[in-house]
Chains A and B, each alone.
Chain A
C-alpha cells in the first residue's frame, strides 16, 4: 500500500473537517443559539417587518409603503428635528459642564472629594420615573417651586409644560441634571490616567493653569471625551424617558423625539411595520453620527 497517492477531494475535505476542533463550538453553542433566537432573529425580523403594512394583519404583502410614508411624514421630521435640537444644545453643554466638573473634582484643593463625586453621580441612581415626576412637579405652572422662585424675585411665571420652547428647555435641564455627573465621573477617570509628570514638566516650563488645561488636559482627555460624546449622541437619538414622562411629547408634538414617536407608532397605534422602519432609520443615523465623530475627533496623533 502506497501513501504517496494523493487523497481524493472528498476525503481531503473530510480530513480538514476532522482537524477542526469541535469542542469549543459545542461549548459556545448554547450562547450562539440564544444569540440567534433573541438577537439576530428579531433584528432580521423587524427589518422584514418594515416592508409590511402590519395594520393589514400578519399576511400583508411586502411593499415599500412604510418607507415611502417615512420620507413624507411631517411627524417624523418634527421628531427628528426635536431630537437634533436636543443633540446640538444639550450634548455640548453637558460635556463642557462635565469636563469643568471633572477637573474640579480632580483638584487637590477639593476637600471631601469622595462625597462630591457621589453627589454628582447620585442623580443616575434615582429611578427615571421618579425623577421625571419630580421635574413635572418642579415646573408645574401653578404650584411649581421654579415659578414660585421666579415670581419671588420679581420675574414673570412661565407656563413651562404647556408651551413649546419652555417644554423643550425643561427636557434639556432634566437631562443635564441626570447625565452631567455621570459623564463627569467617566472624564474624571480619564483625567486620573494622565501622568502627573506632564503637568510638572509644564509647570517647570512656566505654563499657566489655563495653558495647561487647553494644551495638556484637553488633548490627553480626547479619547475619553470621544467615548462620552459617542455614548451621549447615541443616547440622545434613543431619548424616550424624559419626553414621555415629563412632557408626554407635548404640547402638541413640540417635544416629540424619535424614541417617543417610535413608541407611539409601535405600541399606541400597533403599527409595528412602520415602527420598525423608524427604528432602522434611527439606527442608521446613530451609525453615521458615530462614524463622523470617530473621523473628526478620533484620529491618532
Chain B
C-alpha cells in the first residue's frame, strides 16, 4: 500500500511538473451553444494549466466544416489547435485526409477507451488510429406534454412499444378533434426518424465494418414500416426543423422525439410551457425490445499542423474526459455528456423545474449503455440523400412494401458508394 501511495504521489509530481511546463495559446473552432459550452470549461482548465491561453472561435457549424475541408485539402494550412467535428461527418475527414489530424492514441487516448460508450468511438477511428475524442452525444428520448397526455387520458408509462404509441395517438386525435398530433416527422426534408428507429433496431445504412450496405436488413425494414404505420394511423404531422419547433410552440403536437440535445431547443423556444413537459424512453419496436438510440453528437480532434498539441490534448482531457468538464457543459448549454462517469454526477439526479421536476438527465443518460453501435461512414451524406427520397416515396405509396423500398434504396446507395449490398 505504501508503495502504491509513493508511486501515486510520484506520478502526481510528474503530472504537475508537466502541467507547469505547458504554455502558449490553444485556439478552438466550434459553433453556437457548443462553443459556449467549451468556453465554460476554460476556468477549470486554467486552474490546472495557468500558462495556457484558450481561445474559442465560434464560426458556426457549416463554416467549421467548410474551413476544415479547405484547410485539410491545403495540407493543414490555417487550422486551429482543436477542431470540432460532428460524428456523422467525421469519417469523411479521416478517409480523405488521413494525415490532417493527430492520432490521439499517441497522446494517451487509448487509455480512455473504456470511459466512453463503444458506439461513440466507432466513427472516430480509422484502422487503429483514434482521430478524435467523444464529446456530446444524442441519446434519443420522447419529450411529451404532460397536460395534453393527461387530457387525452394517456399514461406515458404505458407506452412501451410503437403499437402503444399509435394507440395513444388515436386517443389524442379523438380528444382534440385531430388538431393535436402525437409528433412531427421530417419527411422529404430529412430521414431522422428512420435513422433513430433503425439504430434502435440495430440496423443502419452500413454495417459496422463499413464494408457493405445494410439498409434493407430486417431492423431497417421494421423501422420504415413503423413510420408508415404512424402515417397510416394519422397520428403524426410532417415538418422540417422549423416546422417541428413551430408545432411544439403552438401546442399542435403532444410529443417530440429527438436526440437529447433537443431539450435545450424546447426549453428555449417554449419558455412559457415550463412545467408542462416531461420525458420518457422511446417506444420499442416490440415488447421488451431496445428503447435507446442515438441521433447526432460531436467530437474534438487535434489537427496535425497544431504547434501546441500537448496543450490541446490537455484541454481535450479536461473538457471531455473528466466528469467535471462534461457536467459543466451539461449545466451551461445542455450538452449531453458521452463520458460514462458523468452519468453518475449528482447534478444528473437533480430535478429539472422546466420538466415538471423530473430528473430527466438520469432518464436520458441511463440509455447510453443500451445504444446499439452504428456508423455514418464516409458515405453518410450519399446514403442519407437516398433515404430521404425513398422514405418520402414509400410514405406516398410508391412502393408496395418497406422491403421493396429499402431494396431499392440499398441498390441506389450501393451504386453511389461502390459498396456491395450485404446478403
Interface residues of A (CB under 8 A from B): 53-55, 57, 65, 69, 72-75, 141-142, 162, 248, 250-254, 264, 267-271
Contacts and interface: CB of A to CB of B under 8 A. Distances in A.
Contacts of A72: 415
- Chief secondary structure at chain A's binding surface: loop
A253 B385 contact: yes
Contact of B418 (A53, A267, A270): A53
Contacts of B95: 55, 57
Contacts of B382: 269, 271
Nearest to A143: B246
B188 interface: yes
B66 interface: yes
8 contacts: A53-B418, A57-B95, A69-B415, A73-B416, A162-B243, A248-B189, A254-B188, A269-B382
A128 to B, nearest CB: 16
Contacts of A251: 187-189, 392
Contact of B392 (A73, A74, A142, A252): A252
A282 B412 CA distance: 22
Contacts of A162: 188-189, 238-240, 243
Interface string B361-388: 0000000000000000011011001101
Interface of B: 66, 69, 92, 95-96, 98, 187-189, 238-240, 243, 246, 378-379, 381-382, 385-386, 388-389, 392-393, 412, 415-416, 418
A58 to B, nearest CB: 9
A26 B296 CA distance: 57
Contacts of A75: 385-386, 412, 416
Nearest to B417: A55
A56 to B, nearest CB: 8
Contact of A264 (B69, B246, B381): B381
Contact of A270 (B69, B187, B238, B393): B69
A264 B162 CA distance: 34
Contacts of B98: 57
Given A74-B412, A75-B385, A252-B389, A269 B418 contact: no
A161 to B, nearest CB: 8
A149 to B, nearest CB: 20
A66 to B, nearest CB: 11
A250 B92 CA distance: 23
Given A53-B418, A69-B415, A69-B416, A250 B379 contact: no
Contacts of B238: 162
B202 to A, nearest CB: 26
Nearest to B378: A55
B69 A250 contact: no
Given A53-B418, A248-B189, A253-B388, 17 more contacts: A57-B95, A57-B98, A72-B415, A73-B416, A74-B412, A75-B386, A142-B243, A162-B243, A250-B189, A250-B240, A252-B188, A252-B392, A252-B393, A253-B389, A267-B69, A269-B92, A270-B96
Contacts of B243: 141-142, 162
A65 B418 contact: yes
- Residue of B96, B393, B415 ringed by the most chain A CB atoms within 10 A: B96
Contacts of B412: 74-75
Nearest to B89: A268
Given A54-B96, A55-B95, A269 B189 contact: no
A221 to B, nearest CB: 43
Nearest to A136: B242
B385 A264 contact: yes
A253 B388 CA distance: 8
Nearest to B72: A270
A-B CB proximity, top 7 nearest: A251-B188, A252-B389, A269-B381, A268-B381, A252-B392, A252-B188, A270-B96
Contact of B188 (A53, A54, A250, A264): A250
B215 to A, nearest CB: 16
A21 to B, nearest CB: 40
Contact of B92 (A69, A252, A253, A270): A270
Contacts of B96: 54-55, 57, 270
Given A57-B98, A74-B412, A267 B66 contact: yes
- Residue of A142, A253, A269 ringed by the most chain B CB atoms within 10 A: A269
B353 to A, nearest CB: 30
Nearest to A253: B389
Contacts of B381: 264, 268-269
A141 B242 CA distance: 11
Nearest to A249: B385
B238 to A, nearest CB: 7
Nearest to A74: B412
Contacts of B418: 53, 65
